[in-house]
């Protein structure tokens, strides 16, 4: 299998050095466009580095768009996502395992608005009941994804981006003890 660096740095509207969003992994940077020979066929690949995860991914150029790889959101779209987290939490009355699957799918969709919905729905204020371990894991994963993209778009640190999201969460409706007894028992199961 041979690898060679390509001179031209733009493919499918993406270029080397550009930050992108990959659905299952969040924000990464295209470091190169390579040509590899796989099973006798030449294949062009984006080389994407995810610095925080210490991970490198090679994505076929031809498949990049169909798998959902996209450019960073525009600032007005980020503002829309921040408005979403201010909204009232919408928690379905289904079993936790089903909701957890839906939240996970939203996080891995790469769609900033869907990720913002997960952050909004799983956020717990200081005066609210404690989250279960799995709820906290999903909340933190969604918050991390959202903060990474906001940080990249607004050219700020991830810590500043997390603070920005938390500030918008605090502006939302006061979330009192709206959790029903049967729902909290489902979560414990």
Q: pLDDT tens, 47-61?
A: 999 988 889 999 999
- Check residues 175 and 61 and name the one with the higher pLDDT: 61
Confidence of residue 38 (pLDDT cuts 50, 70, 90): confident
For residue 165, give Cα distances in angstroms to 48, 51, 121, 134: 26, 22, 13, 21
Instruction: Looking at the structure, tell me whether residues 138 and 45 fall in a common domain.
Output: no
CB within 8 Å of 78: residues ≥ 6 apart: 112, 149, 150, 153, 154
Looking at 33, 55, 71, the residue that finishes a domain is 71
Looking at 55, 71, 87, the residue that finishes a domain is 71
* CA distance between the termini of the chain: 50
User: Is residue 20's pLDDT more than 90?
Assistant: yes
Instruction: Looking at the structure, tell me whether residues 175 and 126 fall in a common domain.
Output: yes
**Number of structural domains, the chain?**
2
**CA atoms lying within 13 Å on the CB side of residue 144:** 13
Give the mean model confidence (pLDDT) for residues 155-174.
Answer: 90
Instruction: Looking at the structure, tell me whether residues 146 and 90 fall in a common domain.
Output: yes
Would you say 103 and 142 are in contact if contact means Cβ atoms under 8 Å apart? yes
Q: Which residue has the tokens 């909204």?
A: 87
Looking at 24, 44, 71, the residue that finishes a domain is 71
Instruction: Looking at the structure, tell me whether residues 111 and 50 fall in a common domain.
Output: no
Instruction: Looking at the structure, tell me whether residues 99 and 149 fall in a common domain.
Output: yes
Identify the domain containing residue 154 by its residue range: 75-188
Distance CA 97, CA 175 (A): 22
Q: Which residue has the tokens 């979330």?
A: 175
Tens digit of each residue's pLDDT (9 = 90 or more) over 90-114 = 888 899 999 999 999 999 999 999 9
> What are the b/e assignments for 138-156, b being 16+ CB within 10 Å?
bbebbbbbbbbbbbbbeee
Instruction: Looking at the structure, tell me whether residues 134 and 160 fall in a common domain.
Output: yes
Give the three-state DSSP class for 162.
Answer: helix
pTM of the model: 0.81
């Amino acid at each position: 299998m041979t690898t060679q660096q390509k001179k031209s740095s733009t493919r499918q509207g993406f270029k080397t050095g550009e930050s992108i969003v990959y659905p299952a992994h969040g924000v990464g940077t295209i470091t190169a466009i390579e040509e590899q020979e796989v099973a006798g066929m030449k294949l062009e690949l984006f080389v994407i580095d995810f610095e925080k995860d210490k991970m490198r991914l090679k994505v076929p150029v031809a498949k990049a768009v169909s798998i959902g790889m996209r450019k960073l959101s525009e600032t007005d779209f980020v503002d829309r996502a921040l408005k979403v987290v201010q909204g009232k939490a919408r928690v379905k009355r289904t079993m936790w395992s089903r909701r957890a699957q839906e939240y996970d799918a939203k996080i891995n969709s790469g769609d900033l608005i869907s990720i913002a919905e997960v952050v909004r729905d799983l956020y717990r204020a200081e005066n609210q009941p404690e989250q279960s371990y799995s709820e906290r894991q999903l909340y933190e994963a969604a918050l991390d994804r959202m903060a990474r993209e906001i940080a990249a778009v607004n050219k700020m640190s991830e810590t500043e981006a997390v603070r920005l999201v938390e500030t918008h969460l605090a502006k939302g409706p006061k979330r009192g003890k709206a959790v029903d007894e049967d729902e909290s028992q489902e979560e414990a199961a």
